[in-house]
Amino acid sequence: MSTNAEKSFALSVPDSDVELLHKKLDLVRFPDELEGADWDYGAPLSEIQRLVEHWKSTFDWRKAEAEINKLPMFTRDIEVEGHGTLDIHYVHKKRPGHFLEVRKMLPLLTDKSVDHPSFHVVALSLPAFGFSEAPKKPGFSGRQYADYIKEAIGVTLKVKAELEYSTAWRQTGFGYFAVQSTKPQTLGYSLADSPVGLLAWIYEKLVSATDKYPWTDDEVIEWISIYWFSRAGPAAACRIYYEMTGGGKHDVFAGSKWTSVPLGVSYFPKEIVRVPRSWSCTLGKLVFESEHDKGGHFAAVEVPEKLASDLRLMYGKDGPAHGVVPGKTGYNQA
């Protein structure tokens, strides 16, 4: 439940925090690396060394901060049963004019046109992520997030291939998930104290969970800086994995509760867990599906135009969810 009106928010990291970051970067001690290891053992040493040097010498946090502050940002107190009130950060945009994941989509979704609907977008920073307040007590799980959708895992050759892809990912790419689901606090000491450790931990997934997306160094460092300067600190965001899995005892991908809210599903080939399309109908009232030939876990960054197009089709004049909000079609009637 919302307990007050929204308050304007502007990001302003103290100079002392920026100075401390650079001191830590100056004191970095890199590990060694096996010959020819490439990405098999994790993020390559040469990649991390290059990004650290960029972070130290080239990346301008104040410039990035100014760009972020161009977004219409707000905070609002939200009361969560059993967890008191949390001050939640979000981007709220309804006219042309982590939240970084949807930044590329905002102009596509809010542009008014007679040809497609425009949207009133609220892009939340989830509790403990970015500049939202973190829960202070254990047990803040999927029910508390409310909008968290669990993907089901279910034979045609295509279905078999999808399941094999997901199985392979869980065997070789889920090390981070296992650690964050069982001992997030142990990992948290390293992430909170070492910006280079934080960079390596997240960067490997930015690469492996995307469909060969050409991240620029600035994009990567801005993303990592948001975690480093986040309100609750970089360790806090790991705890949701523990809460969702009961400390590793439950399979978060095993199933989900049915929802009667009209549901749309976009399929991207390099999503980390791919489910057979026939299983999506078990999630709820499925009214729209779209399959793409490119994109991965961060589709809103990789292929924002494809995701925005799906939303326009789903909520457009001939779409299955057109008029789902009474009196709000999303079209420019002028």
Per-residue confidence in pLDDT tens, the chain, 334 aa:
455 677 899 999 999 999 999 999 999 999 999 999 999 999 999 999 999 999 999 999 999 999 999 988 888 888 877 777 888 888 876 433 355 667 787 777 777 776 777 776 766 666 665 667 666 666 665 444 443 222 212 245 566 677 777 778 778 888 888 899 999 999 999 999 999 999 999 999 999 999 999 999 999 999 999 999 998 888 888 888 888 888 877 776 665 677 888 999 999 999 988 877 877 888 889 999 999 999 999 999 999 999 999 999 999 998 999 988 888 888 865 4
The answer to whether 283 and 289 are in contact (CB under 8 A) is no
> Is 322 contained in some domain?
no
In a domain, 280, yes or no: yes
CA angle at 273 for the pair 197 and 304, rounded to the nearest 5°? 80
pLDDT at residue 96, rounded to an integer: 37
Does residue 229 lie in a domain region?
yes
Written as six digits, the tokens of 181 are: 């689901």
The answer to whether residue 1 sits within a structural domain is no
> How far is the CA of 167 from the CAs of 45, 122, 181, in angstroms?
28, 34, 18
Q: Does residue 320 form part of some domain?
A: no
**The predicted structure's pLDDT at residue 208:** 94
Number of domains forming the structure of the chain: 1
pLDDT at 257: 75
Strand, helix or coil for residue 212: coil
Parallel, antiparallel, or unpaired: how do β-strands 7-8 and 73-80 relate?
antiparallel
Residue range of the domain that includes 291: 7-31+38-315
Q: Is residue 331 part of a domain?
A: no
Do residues 59 and 218 lie in contact, with contact meaning Cβ atoms separated by under 8 Å?
yes
Angle at 306 between CA 305 and CA 310, to 5 degrees: 115
Look up the CATH number of the domain holding residue 149.
3.40.50.1820
* The model's pTM: 0.78
| 105 in Cβ contact with 300 (< 8 Å) | yes
Within the chain, residue ranges assigned H as helices are 15-26, 45-57, 61-68, 106-110, 142-145, 157-172, 175-182, 184-193, 195-208, 217-228, 239-245, 299-302, 304-315
Determine, yes or no, domain membership for 170. yes
Neighbours of 240 (CB within 10 A): 25
Q: Is residue 221 a part of any domain in this protein?
A: yes
* CA–CA separation, 35 and 300 (whole Å): 35
